[in-house]
Structure 1
């Protein structure tokens, strides 16, 4: 018996790893049937604005608009790939909690597909990884995407930059 997922949550943060998670979510949704929904989310980390002495709502609005534009681009791509049961939201708060606890309960999420972290060991120790937290705390299945669509290791930023330079020559 195959596991069928009905509600897939894909956190989008603008990273290459999040894009890979999105692309794999499309494949999973296709395999699971038309009634499978993909929920895209971008979480604006409000803690980042707490240290700004002159809190500027225009800054938050700009971040929100950029996130909405990015999410709309992903929705367009999903629809081109035959996925019509897709929605998105911009949420505010601590990304770890929103992704691991709040949205899974609110939207009956049964699978979170999240990109692997790009943090090194010291950064993870100091600030913690959202991905690591989600894998520990979420009550649903979590798939951490570390590979591309051919299941080859995802290129590092340095490798992608080098590959882009080579393709421009």
Structure 2
């Protein structure tokens, strides 16, 4: 039996790896006639230690995310994906991506970049991708290559231990 995914979740954070995941997810969604849902998670924990925390900081991050996500939506529609939307969530990216969004949207596939932007978190407590692959309630595809299945041309921004 051939698995056909109907509801695909793609976390995007502005990283090159997330861009690759988005591009592949568009191709998969188009082939399968799937719904494509993009999510950007604003990690509110990053603001907890800022003594001069101001809501305008979160608003600026949100506005930037909206602009990026609007571009992604248009790109997916131009590629022929008819059902595509996004949400911006606030909280811990790991649990939102692995559990909350899949349950809320009946996600059957998460397509996620091999690494993301937060090198410090990856070094200290493990990557979001690693957590999602371990605990997600749906299938997870970790994207490491471009649309031609060749290694990503841009070097990863990984911190080497």
TM-score (norm 2): 0.91
Runs of 4+ in structure 1 off by over 6 angstroms are none
Matches of 2:145 and 2:43 in 1, distance apart? Answer: 26
Q: Does 1:56 align with 2:54?
A: yes
What pairs up with 1:121-136 in 2 under 5 angstroms? 124-136=122-134
Aligned residues: 157
Q: Secondary structure at the match of 2:9?
A: strand
Deviations 1:117-137 (A, max 9, x none): 158x99634131000000000
- The aligned counterpart of 2:21 is 21
**Structure with greater helix percent:** 1
TM-score (norm 1): 0.87
Following the alignment from structure 1 to structure 2, what is the Cα–Cα distance between the partners of residues 140 and 118?
A: 20
The residue that corresponds to 1:148 in the other structure is: 146
Q: Contact between 2:21 and 2:111, CA under 8 Å: does it hold in 1?
A: yes
- Structure 1 residue runs of 5 or longer lacking an equivalent are 160-169
Q: 1:155 Cα deviation (Å)?
A: 2.4
Q: Within 5 Å, give how 1:5-154 maps onto structure 2.
A: 5-33=5-33, 36-117=34-115, 124-154=122-152
- Tell me which structure has the larger Cα radius of gyration: 1
Secondary structure in 2 matching 1:157: coil
